[in-house]
Structure 1
Amino acid sequence: MENSLVLYQVNNRVAEITLNRPEKRNALNPALVEALKSAFKKAKEDENAKIVVLKANGEVFSAGADLAYMQQLQGFSYEENIKDSNALKELFETIRTLPKVVIAQVEGHAIAGGCGLATICDIIFTVPEAKFGYTEVKLGFVPAIVSCYLMQKVGETLTKKLLLSGELFTAQEALHYNLITYVTKATEMPLMVNNFALNLCNSASGNSLALTKQLINNTSNTWLDSCLTEAVKTNARTREGDDFKKGIAAFLAKEKINW
């Protein structure tokens, strides 16, 4: 089990889903995305789990896309890129629509796709030292899928600021933006998250939590499906472009990109 990309355990009705690729800074690749989807589906069906906590082993929550996989993407066809983008969309939608509250326990940097993974959770705890950022534009990517969720969460003006600049920002800034919920000292994080989860378990109806989350999602869902469909296509088109290939090549070579 220790060799698994994702670890799953339940204690006191709290399911913990743990990214377990610390040697790669929990970078996302197809295998990890599929493992996460399977873990969340397991949590959905697990009668012993009422609340879900998403966390990560290692010093980084998730650094975004895996470097080796980024190299492979350069040779993908449009159809293969559509399939790959759909996989990430399906993971995010699995978390968003899960009929259980999902708490992100972010104890390290959350960058690009890793920031998107945290963004989609219902409640987000982070340590003061963590940095966040949707850095895709700096590499010739487009933060397409996460843009749909971020717009709903923080509004158009702030979404443009965060996605167009691609700059990193602090945990306190993320709190100010209403992107996250709590900033907690590292030494207090496990206890704070566990107490928050147990309080939900003991003080709220599971059915009520599920229906409330569904109601909030449905209220803001008038255009989400069409946005995500277009986002997947945009991802695929972008990956066929010269800027994407230039950005990835420079990033892998650790060279400054002159746009």
Structure 2
Amino acid sequence: MPDMNLQRLTVTAEGHVARVTLNRPDVRNAFDEATIVELTAAFRALADDASVRVIVLAANGPAFCAGADLNWMKRMADYSDAENRADALGLATMLNAIHTCNKPVIARVQGDAYAGGMGLVAVADIAITADSAHFCLSEAKLGLIPATIAPYVIRAIGARASHRYFVTAERIDAAEALRIGLVHQVVTAEDLDATVDAVAAAIAANSPNAVRECKQLVVDLADKPIDDTLISDTADRIARIRASDEGRDGVRSFLEKRKPSWLA
């Protein structure tokens, strides 16, 4: 794993599982310019690390992420139009770095996720939350809009739920987050780590190449019309993966009742 000089995060690895942890519990893990830069760098570095097969996005303290840091917001009040756009583009770039990371990302949500924090949940491939956590798209209360996180939140919860929660800025509980599709699973706080670890282990046991291709498959095919072009594309993809080294070894190992090369 690459050596990174981080002040706002910690990055650790055990086996094939890396953990990126927001580490500003005193401000409820709210992010500022430095946090955005570090998250972007961390996910890009882990994407290039062949030893890493899955990434857990976690946080220390009672809150997962409260959105924007208050001091950062104070500085933004004096920004020019150009400075505001550059600042917003940094946030948008960070979210996309997580969303497009070639390793599956699991959000381990141990506490409240507000505004941009809800965006961090939405960009993850899998989100598992403690039943005590709450979620809120609070931007409209401040005269703002959830613009940079919107593409990911809308994909996660759909346009119908977005119409409501973007404009009401109401707080929802973990059960409602599950119902609208923001999170995949709700567990007790005591069971959170064991559940996240089990999902991460299941991913790490699969073919790294197949996992990367599966993630890309969803990105490329979501909402596409099922036409001749798409049918041909899917046939090409399965043909390529069958002919790949891991594809060939995976099938052989199954028939020969042995472990595949990536578990050897």
> Which band: TM-score by shorter chain?
0.7 to 0.9
Q: Say whether residues 1:27 and 2:30 are aligned partners.
A: yes
Q: Say whether residues 1:51 and 2:49 are aligned partners.
A: no
Which segment is superposed worse, 207-216 or 46-55? 207-216
Residue aligned with 2:148, SS = helix
**Matches of 1:2 and 1:40 in 2, distance apart?**
14
**Structure 2 counterparts to residues 49-198 of structure 1, below 5 A:** 49-198=52-201
Residue aligned with 2:128, SS = strand
**Matches of 1:165 and 1:198 in 2, distance apart?**
38
Residue aligned with 2:203, SS = helix
Q: Say whether residues 1:42 and 2:45 are aligned partners.
A: yes
**Matches of 2:79 and 2:60 in 1, distance apart?**
30
**Structure 2 counterparts to residues 235-254 of structure 1, below 5 A:** none
Residue matched to 2:214:
212
Q: Is the 8 A contact 2:6 2:38 kept in 1?
A: no
Q: Is the 8 A contact 2:9 2:21 kept in 1?
A: yes
Evaluate the alpha carbon distance shift between residue 49 and residue 164 of structure 1 in structure 2; reply closer, same or farther with a 3 A threshold: same
Residue aligned with 1:99, SS = coil
**Matches of 2:90 and 2:24 in 1, distance apart?**
19
Q: Is the 8 A contact 1:10 1:48 kept in 2?
A: no
Residue aligned with 1:47, SS = coil
Residue aligned with 1:188, SS = helix
Deviation of 1:221 after TM superposition, in Å, equals 8.1
Which segment is superposed worse, 212-221 or 137-146? 212-221
Residue aligned with 1:41, SS = helix
Q: Is the 8 A contact 1:64 1:111 kept in 2?
A: yes
Evaluate the alpha carbon distance shift between residue 2 and residue 31 of structure 1 in structure 2; reply closer, same or farther with a 3 A threshold: closer
**1:46-84 deviations in Å (ceiling 9; x for gaps):** 222100000001110010100011111111111111111
Deviation of 1:156 after TM superposition, in Å, equals 1.4
Residue aligned with 2:188, SS = coil
Q: For residue 174 of structure 1, what is the amino acid of its counterpart?
A: A
Decide which of 15, 19, 28 is 2:18's aligned counterpart: 15
Determine which structure has greater relative contact order: mean sequence separation of CA pairs < 8 Å that are 6+ residues apart, divided by chain length: 1
Deviation of 1:3 after TM superposition, in Å, equals 7.6
Which segment is superposed worse, 128-137 or 139-148? 139-148
Q: For residue 145 of structure 2, what is the amino acid of its counterpart?
A: V
**Matches of 1:221 and 1:50 in 2, distance apart?**
27
Segments of 4+ moved more than 4 angstroms: none
**Matches of 1:114 and 1:153 in 2, distance apart?**
14
Q: Is the 8 A contact 2:58 2:107 kept in 1?
A: yes
Calculate the TM-score normalised by the size of structure 2.
Answer: 0.80
Largest Rg, 1 or 2: 2
Q: Is the 8 A contact 1:152 1:220 kept in 2?
A: no
Residue aligned with 1:145, SS = coil
Deviation of 1:86 after TM superposition, in Å, equals 0.7
Q: For residue 63 of structure 1, what is the amino acid of its counterpart?
A: A
Residue matched to 1:250:
none
**How many residue pairs align between the two structures?**
221
**Matches of 1:96 and 1:218 in 2, distance apart?**
13
Q: For residue 165 of structure 1, what is the amino acid of its counterpart?
A: T
Q: For residue 120 of structure 1, what is the amino acid of its counterpart?
A: V
Q: For residue 66 of structure 2, what is the amino acid of its counterpart?
A: A
Structure 1: tracts of 5 or more residues without a match: 223-259
Deviation of 1:208 after TM superposition, in Å, equals 1.2
Residue aligned with 1:98, SS = coil
Residue matched to 2:232:
none
**Matches of 1:32 and 1:93 in 2, distance apart?**
15
Deviation of 1:218 after TM superposition, in Å, equals 2.1
